[in-house]
Chains A and B, each alone.
Chain A
Amino acid sequence: DGGITQSPKYLFRKEGQNVTLSCEQNLNHDAMYWYRQDPGQGLRLIYYSQIVNDFQKGDIAEGYSVSREKKESFPLTVTSAQKNPTAFYLCASTPAAVGVGELFFGEGSRLTVL
């Protein structure tokens, strides 16, 4: 089955800890994205990557980091510098250039900071 797999689905973190969210796709898509979803605020772009070993900051990149060492994988690290990390995180991909065509989303990871 082709698609995007995010893990874990639920994650609890203590303040001051870094946590990494996994995103893997087997769609052979070039571009990958991380969005944060908060109630009443839509989807906000954290980071995106158009090609392996290259990524750009989105609108709310502070306190987050990413890597793109493989085409299939785009992990997101939520660092202790992120002041309000409790949120629902969605990974997505598109076949080619950023902004062109349908975004395919994973099922999301819900992070709660205790």
Chain B
Amino acid sequence: GENVEQHPSTLSVQEGDSAVIKCTYSDSASNYFPWYKQELGKRPQLIIDIRSNVGEKKDQRIAVTLNKTAKHFSLHITETQPEDSAVYFCAATLYNQGGKLIFGQGTELSVKP
């Protein structure tokens, strides 16, 4: 079936360094790719999203890039801070299944002061 693969499952960086999380998707018709952040014990919250007609989107220290040909998209966090520590999930729409979202397995990011 259709799926989204997310890597790495855990990521540890020093404060101030950059972090990159990568996802690949299988449904070539997917057209919407959000990223959610879930802090420990809290609900997931949308941090950035990108649609298939755009190759890159930035919002302050975070950015998402999309390569439709290769069917992969990535989250980039620059100048990481301890409050960036959380689990990050990527997702993609299943266009041929009514636009349902399918999530990656999650990446636990730890930013060490």
Contact = CB atoms under 8 A, between A and B. Distances in A.
**Size category, B interface:** 20 to 34
B45 interface: yes
Contacts of B42: 107
Chain B contact residues, majority secondary structure: strand
Contact of A100 (B9, B91, B99): B99
A43 B43 contact: no
Interface of A: 35, 40-45, 48, 56, 58-59, 90, 97-100, 102-103, 105-108
Given A90-B43, A97-B99, A105-B44, 11 more contacts: A42-B4, A42-B105, A43-B89, A43-B103, A90-B44, A98-B99, A99-B100, A99-B101, A100-B32, A103-B44, A103-B101
Interface of B: 1, 4, 6, 9, 32, 34, 36, 42-46, 49, 89, 91, 93-94, 98-106
